[in-house]
């Protein structure tokens, strides 16, 4: 109970969405409210040279998309908020999935024009697996979009979650007039091409009040009264316990680019979102209020600052107090490590921290000691569970274009694949390097970063593999026999674990049937206990 006050005032969450739903814009509005930044960046405008605060890689600034999770901390109303902005693009979903293991709740952004999209479904599946509390922000109300009731029905059906409207929109597109706050009983009026301010809020004790007609007109006032009666009748008051259990998602409507409807959500978020929670490990459940430090690495980023060639491992503190210059136990390596310059982040801006508490994310300088999923403790041996490495879906051989830069290429491949956006395999008994990714865009990013950060020139040659499976067996002889007969399809991952590369689903099923003593795994988490 030593750090209860520090724990209670922290909220750690991720913003997730399909690409272009407005996630990075919403992130910046949060930072503006928290006073962390004074001017929002223009993600895609070439005329304005201020880029989105949360997009820090050069390729992100060129393409106008987020390809890596970025981490920002800011204060709002006495609460320390750790916000993780995730990539929306499906090719970088693995980074997002792992980030979701490091947060306690999620804000899901849905585009009111396009509704639920493919990536939104996949991200929500991960949230549902962990019963992560979710708040939904329906964005772009200033554009002509779907009917509000149809949109709620679509989200409930597609994402398999009950919704609870907290605000209600008055029209949309060019007729959008504002939102009614069902909880606070007030009306926030919308004026096109202006940013929302406190002056736009009108308190309304009773929706029958004449002021509603004055502000909205008779027709819209009548529609609002009818809608609110219906919504109140169906949903009533929000049950916060249901939200915390991941059964109900509060919903807010607004327009992030106009900073409209954002403050209502942020105010509700700090009121109901969970503080840091206790977590499962390989041996026991670690209580968030324990005195001894524990935490895990959920992300690694090489060359955050290209000038200094630094490599930073991101640690989520789960219990106890992290202190600068103190020795901690690196469980996998079974050695003690200390950090003289741990960082907290504001996207690319970083500042040295003296201490950190559960819920905080700390950047640790890494000389190659860390892998994703590594655990730091004050002596105890366990791993935090549920930090996955997925089987890639696209495989390409690395072709070195400049033999004089072989060392740089090898170093670049090792460091970039340590970040977890791609996996590196070496063909068994040979030295052919194979990169496995979830999406094509990752190869573009790797090629770009190899050239610009490591001065190594490479291209990729497509390989006819369908899936990578980690293979294990209780009978070492059977495993040895299998790898000898299937040499062309066997590779090792970076940790020396054997992997079977299947050409098709049929080949994979055949091998599984013909080799009952060999176990095929689609995630490398099986090896955690074997390290």
3-state secondary structure of 335: strand
State whether 291 and 163 are in the same domain: no
Q: What CATH number has the domain bearing residue 497?
A: 3.30.70.3280
State whether 17 and 145 are in the same domain: yes
Q: What CATH number has the domain bearing residue 325?
A: 3.40.50.300
Question: What are 35's two structure tokens?
Answer: 């006073």
State whether 10 and 108 are in the same domain: yes
State whether 36 and 129 are in the same domain: yes
Strands 134-139 and 248-253: parallel
Residue 211 lies in a domain: no
Query: Containing domain of residue 434, as a range?
Result: 394-530
| Residue ending a domain, choose from 352, 377, 402 | 377
3-state secondary structure of 373: coil
Question: What are 277's two structure tokens?
Answer: 């929670």
User: Rounded to whole angstroms, how far apart are CA atoms 403 and 37?
Assistant: 45
Question: What are 142's two structure tokens?
Answer: 């200033």
User: Rounded to whole angstroms, how far apart are CA atoms 193 and 141?
Assistant: 13
pLDDT score of 349: 56
pLDDT score of 242: 95
State whether 446 and 370 are in the same domain: no
State whether 339 and 440 are in the same domain: no
Those residues with Cβ within 8 angstroms of residue 361's Cβ, 6 or more apart along the chain or in another chain: 12, 71, 73, 82, 84, 102, 314, 315, 316, 317, 344, 345
Residue 221 lies in a domain: no
CB count within 10 Å of CB 228 equals 16
Residue 479 lies in a domain: yes
In a structure prediction context, what are the per-residue pLDDT tens digits for the chain, which is 531 residues long?
Answer: 688 999 999 999 998 888 788 888 888 888 888 776 655 443 333 333 344 444 444 544 454 444 344 678 888 999 999 888 776 445 445 667 777 888 999 999 999 988 888 778 877 877 887 789 999 999 999 888 888 999 999 999 999 899 999 999 998 888 888 888 888 888 888 876 655 555 567 777 778 888 888 888 889 889 999 998 999 888 888 999 999 999 999 999 999 888 888 989 999 999 999 999 999 998 999 999 999 999 999 887 765 555 555 678 889 999 999 999 999 999 999 999 999 888 776 544 567 888 999 999 898 888 778 888 899 999 899 988 876 666 777 899 999 999 899 899 988 888 878 777 688 999 877 778 999 887 777 788 788 888 888 899 999 999 999 888 889 999 999 999 999 888 889 999 888 889 999 999 899 999 999 999 999 887 665 444 443
State whether 15 and 132 are in the same domain: yes
pLDDT score of 186: 83
Distances (CA, A) of 389 to 385, 392, 438, 480, 528: 12, 9, 11, 24, 11
CA dihedral (505, 509, 515, 517) positive or negative: positive
User: Rounded to whole angstroms, how far apart are CA atoms 492 and 67?
Assistant: 27
Question: What are 403's two structure tokens?
Answer: 């033999």
User: Rounded to whole angstroms, how far apart are CA atoms 374 and 380?
Assistant: 13
Residue 189 lies in a domain: no
Question: What are 74's two structure tokens?
Answer: 């800011």
Residue 520 lies in a domain: yes
State whether 44 and 164 are in the same domain: yes
Residue 433 lies in a domain: yes
Radius of gyration (C-alpha) of the chain in whole angstroms: 25
Three-class secondary structure assignment of 448-495 = HHHHHHHCCCEEEEECCCCEEEEEECCCHHHHHHHHHHCHHHEEECCC
3-state secondary structure of 307: coil
Structural domain total, the chain: 3
pLDDT score of 94: 64
State whether 316 and 430 are in the same domain: no
Instruction: Give the burial class of 268: count Cβ atoms within 10 A of its Cβ; 0-12 exposed, 13-18 middle, 19 or more buried.
Output: buried
Question: Quick check: pTM over 0.85?
Answer: no
User: Rounded to whole angstroms, how far apart are CA atoms 84 and 86?
Assistant: 6
State whether 320 and 406 are in the same domain: no
Residue 95 lies in a domain: yes
Whether the Cβ atoms of residue 454 and residue 410 lie closer than 8 Å to each other: no
pLDDT score of 233: 87
Residue 199 lies in a domain: no
Those residues with Cβ within 8 angstroms of residue 176's Cβ, 6 or more apart along the chain or in another chain: 141, 142, 169, 170, 190, 192, 255
State whether 156 and 255 are in the same domain: yes
pLDDT score of 331: 93
State whether 432 and 288 are in the same domain: no
């Amino acid at each position: 109970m030593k750090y209860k006050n520090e724990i209670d005032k922290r909220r750690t969450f991720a913003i997730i969405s399909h690409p272009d739903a407005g996630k990075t814009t919403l992130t910046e509005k949060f930072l503006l409210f928290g006073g962390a930044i004074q001017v929002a960046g223009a993600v895609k405008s070439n005329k304005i040279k201020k880029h989105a605060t949360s997009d820090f890689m050069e390729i992100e600034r060129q393409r106008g998309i987020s390809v890596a999770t970025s981490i920002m901390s800011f204060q709002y109303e006495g609460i320390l908020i750790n916000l993780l902005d995730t990539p929306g693009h499906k090719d970088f979903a693995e980074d997002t999935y792992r980030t979701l293991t490091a947060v306690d709740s999620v804000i899901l952004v849905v585009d009111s024009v396009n509704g639920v999209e493919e990536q939104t479904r996949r991200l929500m599946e991960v949230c549902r697996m962990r019963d992560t509390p979710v708040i939904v922000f329906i964005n772009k109300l200033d554009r002509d979009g779907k009917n509000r009731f149809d949109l709620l029905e679509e989200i409930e059906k597609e994402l398999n979650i009950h919704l609870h409207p907290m605000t209600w929109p008055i029209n949309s597109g060019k007729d959008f007039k504002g939102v009614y706050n069902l909880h606070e009983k007030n009306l926030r009026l919308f004026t096109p091409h202006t940013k929302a301010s406190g002056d736009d809020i009108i308190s309304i004790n009773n929706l029958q009040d004449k002021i509603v007609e004055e502000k909205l007109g008779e027709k819209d006032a009548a529609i609002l009264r009818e809608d609110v009666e219906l919504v109140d009748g169906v949903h009533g008051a929000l049950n916060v316990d249901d939200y915390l259990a991941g059964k109900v998602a509060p919903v807010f409507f607004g327009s992030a680019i106009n900073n409209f409807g954002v403050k209502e959500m942020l105010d509700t978020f700090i009121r109901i979102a969970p503080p840091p929670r206790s977590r499962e490990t390989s041996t026991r459940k670690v209580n968030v209020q324990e005195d001894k430090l524990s935490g895990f690495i959920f992300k690694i980023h090489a060359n955050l600052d290209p000038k200094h060639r630094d490599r930073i491992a991101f640690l989520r503190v789960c219990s106890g107090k992290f202190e600068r210059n103190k020795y901690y136990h690196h469980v996998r390596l079974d050695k003690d490590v200390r950090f003289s310059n741990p960082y907290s982040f504001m996207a690319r801006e970083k500042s040295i921290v003296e201490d950190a508490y559960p819920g905080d994310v700390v950047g640790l300088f890494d000389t190659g000691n860390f892998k994703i999923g590594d655990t730091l403790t004050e002596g105890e041996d366990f791993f935090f569970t549920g930090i996955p490495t997925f089987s890639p879906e696209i495989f390409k051989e690395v072709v070195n274009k400049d033999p004089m830069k072989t060392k740089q290429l090898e170093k670049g491949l090792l460091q970039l694949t340590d970040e977890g956006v791609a996996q590196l395999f070496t063909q068994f008994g040979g030295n052919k390097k194979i990169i496995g990714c979830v999406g094509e865009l990752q190869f573009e990013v790797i090629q770009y970063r190899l050239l610009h950060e490591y001065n190594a020139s490479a291209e990729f040659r497509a390989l006819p593999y369908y899936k990578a499976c980690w293979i294990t067996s209780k009978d070492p002889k059977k495993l040895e026999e299998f790898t000898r007969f299937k040499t062309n399809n066997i590779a090792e991952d970076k940790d020396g674990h054997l992997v079977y590369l299947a050409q098709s689903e049929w080949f994979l099923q055949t091998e599984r049937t013909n080799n009952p003593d060999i176990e095929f795994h689609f995630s490398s988490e099986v090896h955690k206990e074997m390290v």
